Amino acid sequence: MRFVIVTGMSGAGKSTVLRFFEDMNFFCVDNLPPILISRFAELCFGQEGFDKVALGIDIRGGKLFNDFFRGLDRLEECGYNSEILFLDASDQALIKRFKETRRNHPFSRSMSIEQSIHKEREMLKEVKEKADYIIDTSKTLTRELKQQIGKIFLENKKFESLMITISSFGFKYGIPSDSDLVFDVRFLPNPYYIAELKEHTGNDKDVFDYVMNHEDSVEFLKKLTEMVEFLIPRYINEGKNQLVISIGCTGGKHRSVTIANALFENLRANNHSLLLRHNDIDKDRY
């Protein structure tokens, strides 16, 4: 039986993730008082048909949230295996979400949203340290979050706390604001000046082959892959949850898309947690 406890910061997407679990045929219960975790687990483990369970826990349990670890200890004593999924997001992202949805933070009656978030983050510090999976939803689209959950709990793929987004873009439209690493591939041969390739993109085989049929492209991709592979475990050790690698060319359609796709495939071979975005590929279609 798979028994998953979903918790984390208010506004980080717990309710959304529980809906994803429901779509994966998990039996889901939200906002159960933490003191009842072990009793609920005993019921589930003792019944047929409860092979996948997701349990939502958050600070709405009030003082009872202090019983969270007692509940986990009781699970271990009874020999029940459980997993903790912790959903996090930056303070800026959480504040924006509360303002946009006009929802109140559980602590907002007595303090500001910002103060509420800081208090909650301190309360959940120890829970986060014990989590099996930590997903930062600050810059993650709903469909991307669903993909992550599916890979972990449906496809049972290896999980890394570092989610790597490989992003292509065009310099004429500006560097993506969430970029951590930016690489300029405008030195590579440009398919734009080849009549039969101009209207195609790096997603098309003829453009991909044209770009990668040059020694500089192959060497650059090799060195870029080696550097990223070198950085990944070091970023994980530092507790980084999100890494956005942006690769740019002039218009964001040919060279940057080709290299982004190639890097994605190279990293995917090593089972990293990956997302792929092409920011400007559909702009100014010819």
| E strand intervals along the chain | 2-8, 27-30, 52-56, 83-88, 133-136, 163-170, 181-184, 242-249, 274-278
Checking DSSP bridges between strand 52-56 and strand 2-8, what pairing results, if any?
parallel
The whole-number average pLDDT for the span 184-210 is: 94
Give the torsion through C-alpha atoms of 124, 125, 129, 131, to 10 deg.
20
Please report which confidence band the pLDDT of residue 105 belongs to, taking 50, 70 and 90 as the band edges.
confident
Q: What is the pLDDT of residue 178?
A: 86
The whole-number average pLDDT for the span 201-209 is: 95
Q: What domains sit in the chain, N to C, each tagged with a CATH number?
A: 2-153 (3.40.50.300), 163-278 (no CATH)
Distance CA 86, CA 134 (A): 5
The kind and range of the H/E element at 142 are: helix 142-153
- Residues in the chain, total: 286
What is the side-by-side strand order in the sheet with 274-278? 181-184, 242-249, 163-170, 274-278
pTM for this prediction: 0.67
Identify which has the larger pLDDT, 20 or 162: 20
Q: What is the pLDDT of residue 61?
A: 52
Average pLDDT for the chain: 87
For 217-256, the pLDDT digits (tens) are 999 999 999 999 999 989 888 878 789 999 999 999 999 9
For 144-184, the pLDDT digits (tens) are 888 888 888 887 766 666 889 999 999 999 999 889 999 99
Distance CA 236, CA 151 (A): 19
| E strand intervals along 31-179 | 52-56, 83-88, 133-136, 163-170
Q: What is the pLDDT of residue 157?
A: 66
For 261-276, the pLDDT digits (tens) are 999 999 988 878 888 9
Cβ–Cβ < 8 Å for 283, 252:
yes
The whole-number average pLDDT for the span 25-42 is: 84
